[in-house]
Structure 1
């Protein structure tokens, strides 16, 4: 049943750009004022376990907001904000955040060369760059993971690994399947250190 609901949400997300309105990043900036409390005034989160949205692909944000709005993604803090958002607001918010320059949070953890090396070694066998692209900047429905909050990356990958988070498909669940907590921590550190 959840697969049918995920497929329906993905099809809905794919149809939105043809809904008869153009994405308006300026309008999105106005709508984003409440988002700044958690996601940062410049889209770079300064709050633990809250993702940065600056520079995320618009399609990725759109799909995630639809999954939240439709109750297909469990995020108790975000779900109430997304619950009644119309498609146009979602598209405009996504357009706005996509225009912001990405970068690390001010409180990024200091670089640990051993963890960076361990994390980088995992990216090849896990084919991370196949979807997230070589600079880990994301594309289309695939998120930017470079310079993302490290503890958020740990949280998200752990949820995917443990089957507690779904996306429009199951590729991430498979990509992190079998990783230990230490491997997830190393991979998250490597990605968080990339700019």
Structure 2
């Protein structure tokens, strides 16, 4: 992991990232303060700078195929990628405005599955992520379910294939339970 920047440098990077996010209109899909109100679009607020930077590089280099992200990531310099990550990391995390009401049985089943799958090892016990592992607690439930299904069906790969192996063999119902549990955290 790179050494932490002094607070002033972090602030400068975040300020440059905020300007770039406004210029590239990131808020149109991900929400003005990084909290997505659009189905299937992840909230970014509170993500680790390293995670955001990695995803932007994957988009920019064509290694992660999300057509809607190709144009926004096109031509980003490494410094701009890091600045956007710094900015997103400063945004306070909050659940999406249209979060589904809690379903006690889905929550309980999802918690049990998350424990069995050891989600808290990489994503940390509070599911807040670390370094290049995303903050998933409170994320959009629909996005979580779509992502887990894509990993299970080998239509998406992370920077490694660990997630593909973790969710291999899960049913759609089990994925829905995990997504509900994680979204409600």
The TM-score by the shorter chain falls in which range? over 0.9
User: Could you tell me the TM-score, scaled by structure 1's length?
Assistant: 0.87
CA distance in structure 2 between the partners assigned to 1:124 and 1:191 by the alignment: 11
CA shift for structure 1 position 165:
0.6
Q: How does 1:13-162 map to 2 (within 5 A)?
A: 24-33=13-22, 34-162=25-153
CA shift for structure 1 position 84:
1.2
CA distance in structure 2 between the partners assigned to 1:91 and 1:67 by the alignment: 13
Runs of 4+ with >6 A deviation: none
CA distance in structure 1 between the partners assigned to 2:72 and 2:32 by the alignment: 17
Q: How many residues in Structure 1 have an aligned counterpart in Structure 2?
A: 177
Deviates more, 1:142-151 or 1:80-89: 80-89
CA shift for structure 1 position 83:
1.8
Partner residue in 2 for 1:168: 159
CA shift for structure 1 position 125:
1.4
User: Could you tell me the TM-score, scaled by structure 2's length?
Assistant: 0.92
CA distance in structure 2 between the partners assigned to 1:26 and 1:81 by the alignment: 18
Structure 2 unpaired stretches of 5+: none
Which deviations, in whole Å up to 9, do the C-alpha atoms of 1:105-155 show, x marking residues without a partner? 111011111110010010111110000001000010000000000000011
Structure 1 unpaired stretches of 5+: 1-13
CA distance in structure 1 between the partners assigned to 2:37 and 2:96 by the alignment: 6
